[in-house]
Structure 1
């Protein structure tokens, strides 16, 4: 899958199909998030991944330290199972999973929906990597990568039957910024990508290249 082009094509179709008011409100929301420099102030290259303790769809609790003890992580923040852009990126990460695992790393997905919705998304998409529930975007907020929706953006989602406070176990209308990181076993972020536009995501090949570079650096340091 050429993920970058596939997302671009979906975005072109999606925006063309939107009513003029919705399209303008969506563009205004992206402009607002760019102006507050949400991505630039969030978790980035060279930072250390914040600790977390999150449950998978079966209710099993996982900690960041437990996962990092097993090796590097490719960790992705998804908006949710309702998001068509996330559907494509989840599928691309699953497609890349064997190559990620062959490099001694583990793919992890994190989404703000409650455990039962996480389980349903994993089953529907046939996801073989670990998907964790981040209630109320607690972990995403710790990373500086969650935001409150504007009233106009809330209206767009309400019109489509989405109730994020109910889905997320939250009292606020919040979403995470779509993001993906390659994290070394010492929790250092060796690759970081985030964009407020859900149609933007790196090709999985970039993640594999970052993983290989991380392994090469480790091998050199052990000589």
Structure 2
């Protein structure tokens, strides 16, 4: 089963398990975000990746310039370890990581949680790629891919014991839009995907195909 099909199946089970009130609030949130066009107006193909300086699980700061000096990036925005859809997309990126690295690129995940939570997530999920902390969703906001939660969506998280502002070092209830990008060494975005619905994410082969195209173009330029 492809990642796309697995996510859609999880979405069906997830929605069926929700109460009528929770399901209505969840669907209202998706409708609101689509109306606001948050994904459509965010970082897209042809744009340039905003500069960042973000800490990893050990508190070491990584800059976008430092990472791009190594080669292209496959950079993903994840909502958090609590998100069942992120669990699958994190695992898919880890499965693709050896091929990503063989193509000369670096896989990077960005989450709004603090470094200690990032460390636990990496250990629990057995993630070998770089996970970076984005407090208060500052980088996601720079990308135009963060949104404030509606009262109904805040209620859903509170009833499940999640205090997102405290976890993110933020004053607002805010989350990133799930997204993934292939970024050239020049910081130009060669492939972009973002969707307000966390059950939608591209199959890793789409990312790998974009990286292969970059490699082919680089080889032609250097003949």
TM-score normalised by the chain length of structure 1: 0.99
Cα deviation, residue 218, structure 1:
1.3
Cα deviation, residue 2, structure 1:
1.7
Cα deviation, residue 104, structure 1:
0.4
1:60 alignment counterpart: 60
2:153 alignment counterpart: 153
Structure 1: runs of 5+ lacking an equivalent: none
Cα deviation, residue 219, structure 1:
1.2
Cα deviation, residue 220, structure 1:
1.1
Secondary structure class of the residue paired with 1:69? helix
Q: Does 2:203 match 1:203? A: yes
2:92 alignment counterpart: 92
CA distance in 2, matches of 1:135, 1:205: 30
CA distance in 2, matches of 1:59, 1:76: 19
2:78 alignment counterpart: 78
Cα deviation, residue 15, structure 1:
0.2
CA distance in 1, matches of 2:149, 2:113: 16
Q: Does 2:9 match 1:9? A: yes
Cα deviation, residue 221, structure 1:
1.6
Structure 2: runs of 5+ lacking an equivalent: none
CA distance in 2, matches of 1:218, 1:20: 53
2:185 alignment counterpart: 185
CA distance in 1, matches of 2:125, 2:204: 18
Secondary structure class of the residue paired with 1:76? strand
Please tell me the root mean square deviation across aligned C-alpha atoms, in Å.
0.6
2:50 alignment counterpart: 50
Cα deviation, residue 40, structure 1:
1.0
Q: CA-to-partner distance for each residue in 1:39-72, whole Å, 9 max, x for gaps?
A: 1110000000000000000000000000000000
CA distance in 1, matches of 2:74, 2:197: 20
CA distance in 2, matches of 1:156, 1:77: 22
CA distance in 2, matches of 1:126, 1:36: 36
1:217 alignment counterpart: 217
Matched pairs, number? 223
Cα deviation, residue 222, structure 1:
1.8
CA distance in 2, matches of 1:60, 1:52: 13
Cα deviation, residue 128, structure 1:
0.2
2:194 alignment counterpart: 194
2:33 alignment counterpart: 33
Consecutive aligned runs of 4 or more in structure 1 exceeding 2 Å deviation: none
1:142 alignment counterpart: 142
CA distance in 1, matches of 2:33, 2:194: 12
Cα deviation, residue 33, structure 1:
0.3
TM-score normalised by the chain length of structure 2: 0.99
Cα deviation, residue 135, structure 1:
0.2
CA distance in 2, matches of 1:215, 1:188: 14
